[in-house]
């Protein structure tokens, strides 16, 4: 095909003018093309960002719907996880048909989980009914044959007893309420009439009050152990024609909350003297608090420490969640502090003798949320499997913890070094490689970022066999308060919140030391007013008092 080209002029000046004009036109075209490309790139970036935001919102919506309507447990569904295998298999590109499905057991949120591993997936036999406690009183009721039925129907010979069958039922007798009359005879000299002599009252937990130690213990256990608000207890007492207003009971709880302060102080000293402590905090609402509205939130700070055979659990109320509270509560402590990723604890670790230990359960929770927020298995297979891979690594670590549970600390430390160390190394490499593969604002992206930021503290549980892989001990210990908060909703005053913190700590410490809370508090409220020396108070600590020793001494 021939092209019609105009002949070029022979004049050099004209040629130069044409060339300059062509260059100018090319520059305009180039600038226009560059602006068009930039506009297209901006539109593309905006579309990508908009799509990412839409997916992020969809992800949030799916997670909300799961939390609203799905099961509350964090245990992963075996059917869901059968679509994926271990991270190393996924990394090698194997399909789900070519690999054996992985079972993620040893749920860290379940404690002694009933989830079975693949090799132990056998039918479980239900254990028989547990026998009733031997200390309970037995009332023998004999159901015998009538006299005419004790004759053999064949030959008329009287029957002889050859044994008996026995079964037990639990009978409930309503609580006994009685009035103690403290009678003090008065004496006077009939001759000189020099005054009257009368025996003093024994020391009382609340002087000039009608509340006995046993009544105070019952009210405290009902509220702080059984989550029974005072207004409900008021209605219960009305049924037995006893008028106990919630205001009166609240004042009593504040009084005994102050009474136990010396015991709390000694427990605090023992807690800080040990070199491992777990910390967590939960919200609490106080209506009448200076400088704050009734709708604002305050906090209850929990600490769990002491040796495993004598655990100590303490709560402290504070209106803020600031780092200065954590520093005050851990002042003088040296050792391991296991917490989540909350930055409020950072100031405590300026001291090189205080070591931060991370919580793998919080990492698992973030991957679990990402897993639940995924649209479905098909999308996950097409590339959204990072949550499954992260969960698989974490579940491997928890399987090891399940297998070494109950072993002594040196054995646990050695097993972790051999078994968990390589898994953690592999997981860290996977985290580093996965950061650029997912949007950082997505749930799985946040889970990967959180795990990477907390990595050094997550490794610390390898340093000592007494340490745990997570902070679930503290979270489980603080759960009774969260359950009770759903019933009583708030504290009226700061004094009430402080008293609640003291009594919650005492009751939970008693339970952790295998003491029955009512029996311990009844003994404590009886003997505490008589205590005068440090030794007297020390004998009343729930970590040292044993009722069987007390009964033998008496």
pLDDT tens per residue, range 443-471:
888 899 999 999 999 999 999 999 999 99
* Distance from chain centroid for Cα 474: 6
Q: What is the pLDDT of residue 72?
A: 61
DSSP E strands, 221-350: 276-284, 286-288, 298-305, 312-318, 335-338
Cα separations (Å) of 270 from 139, 310, 312, 525? 45, 10, 8, 21
| Element (DSSP H or E) covering residue 486 | helix 472-488
Residues of the chain short of pLDDT 70, as ranges, are 1-6, 62, 66-67, 69-128, 287-295, 375-384, 484-492, 548-554
DSSP assignment, residue 158? B
- Residues facing 150 on adjacent strands: none
User: Can you list the alpha helix ranges (DSSP code H) found in 70-187?
Assistant: 78-81, 87-91
- Read off the pTM: 0.73
Q: Please answer whether residues 246 and 231 qualify as being in contact, where contact means their C-beta atoms are separated by less than 8 angstroms.
A: yes
Q: What is the pLDDT of residue 109?
A: 43
Q: What is the pLDDT of residue 289?
A: 63
What count of Cα atoms within 13 Å lies in the side-chain half-sphere of residue 518? Answer: 8
Give tens-digit pLDDT for 175-222: 778 888 888 888 888 888 778 888 888 888 998 888 999 999 999 999
The secondary structure of the chain in percent helix, strand, coil, rounded to multiples of 5, reads 50, 10, 40
Do strands 354-357 and 335-338 pair parallel, antiparallel, or not at all (unpaired)? Answer: parallel
**What residue segments make up the domains of the chain, in order of their start?**
15-70, 272-480
- ∠ CA(88), CA(90), CA(91), 5° rounding? 60
Q: What is the pLDDT of residue 22?
A: 84
Residues contacting residue 531 through CB under 8 Å, at least 6 positions apart: 262, 537, 540
Q: What is the pLDDT of residue 221?
A: 93
For 80-94, b/e burial (b = at least 16 CB within 10 A) is bbeebbbbebbeeee
Distance CA(341)–CA(336), nearest Å, equals: 15
User: Can you list the alpha helix ranges (DSSP code H) found in 12-86?
Assistant: 12-69, 78-81
Q: What is the pLDDT of residue 295?
A: 64
Helix (H, G, I), strand (E, B) or coil at 409: helix
Q: Please answer whether residues 508 and 480 qualify as being in contact, where contact means their C-beta atoms are separated by less than 8 angstroms.
A: yes
């Amino acid at each position: 095909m021939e092209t019609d080209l105009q002949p070029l002029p022979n004049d050099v000046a004209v040629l130069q003018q044409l060339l300059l004009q062509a260059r100018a036109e090319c520059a305009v075209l180039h600038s226009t093309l560059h602006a068009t490309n930039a506009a297209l790139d901006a539109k593309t970036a905006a579309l990508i960002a908009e799509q990412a935001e839409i997916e992020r919102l969809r992800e949030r919506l799916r997670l909300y719907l799961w939390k609203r309507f799905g099961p509350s447990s964090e245990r992963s569904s075996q059917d869901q996880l059968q679509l994926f295998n271990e991270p190393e298999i996924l990394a090698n590109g194997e399909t789900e048909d070519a690999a054996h499905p992985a079972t993620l057991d040893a749920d860290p949120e379940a404690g002694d989980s009933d989830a079975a591993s693949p090799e132990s997936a056998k039918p479980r036999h239900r254990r028989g009914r547990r026998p009733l406690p031997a200390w309970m009183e037995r009332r023998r009721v004999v159901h015998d044959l009538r006299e005419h039925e004790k004759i053999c129907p064949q030959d008329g010979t009287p029957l002889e007893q050859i044994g008996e069958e026995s079964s037990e039922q639990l009978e409930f007798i309503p609580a006994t309420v009685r009035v103690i009359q403290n009678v003090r005879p008065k004496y006077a000299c009939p001759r000189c009439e020099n005054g009257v002599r009368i025996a003093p009252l024994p020391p009382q937990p609340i002087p000039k009050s009608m509340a006995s130690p046993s009544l105070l213990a019952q009210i405290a256990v009902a509220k702080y152990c059984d989550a029974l608000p005072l207004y409900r207890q008021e209605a219960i007492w009305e049924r037995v024609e006893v008028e106990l207003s919630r205001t009166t009971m609240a004042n009593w709880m504040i009084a005994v909350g102050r009474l136990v302060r010396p015991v709390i102080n000694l427990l605090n000293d023992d807690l800080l003297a040990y070199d491992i402590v777990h910390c967590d905090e939960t919200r609490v609402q106080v209506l009448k608090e200076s400088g704050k509205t009734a709708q604002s939130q305050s906090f209850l700070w929990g600490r769990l420490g002491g040796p495993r055979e004598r655990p100590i659990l303490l709560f402290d109320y504070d209106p803020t969640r600031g780092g200065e509270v954590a520093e005050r509560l851990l002042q003088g402590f040296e050792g391991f502090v296991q917490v989540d990723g909350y930055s409020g604890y950072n100031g405590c670790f300026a001291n090189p003798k205080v070591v931060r230990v991370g919580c793998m359960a919080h990492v698992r929770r973030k991957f679990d949320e990402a897993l639940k927020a995924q649209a479905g298995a098909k999308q996950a297979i097409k590339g959204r499997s990072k949550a499954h891979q992260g969960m698989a690594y974490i579940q491997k670590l928890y399987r090891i913890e399940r297998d070494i549970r109950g072993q002594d600390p040196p054995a646990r430390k050695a097993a972790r070094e051999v078994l968990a160390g390589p898994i953690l190394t592999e997981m860290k490499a996977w985290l580093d490689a996965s950061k650029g593969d997912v949007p950082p604002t997505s749930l799985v992206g946040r889970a990967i970022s959180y795990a990477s930021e907390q990595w050094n503290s997550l490794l610390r549980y390898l340093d000592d066999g007494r340490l745990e892989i997570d902070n679930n001990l503290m979270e489980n210990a603080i759960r009774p308060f969260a359950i009770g908060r759903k019933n009583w909703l708030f504290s009226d005053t700061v004094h009430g919140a402080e008293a609640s913190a003291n009594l919650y700590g005492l009751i939970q410490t008693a339970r952790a030391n295998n003491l029955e809370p009512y029996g311990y508090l009844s003994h404590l409220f009886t003997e505490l007013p008589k205590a005068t020396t440090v030794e007297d108070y020390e004998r009343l600590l729930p970590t040292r008092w044993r009722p069987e020793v007390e009964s033998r001494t008496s």
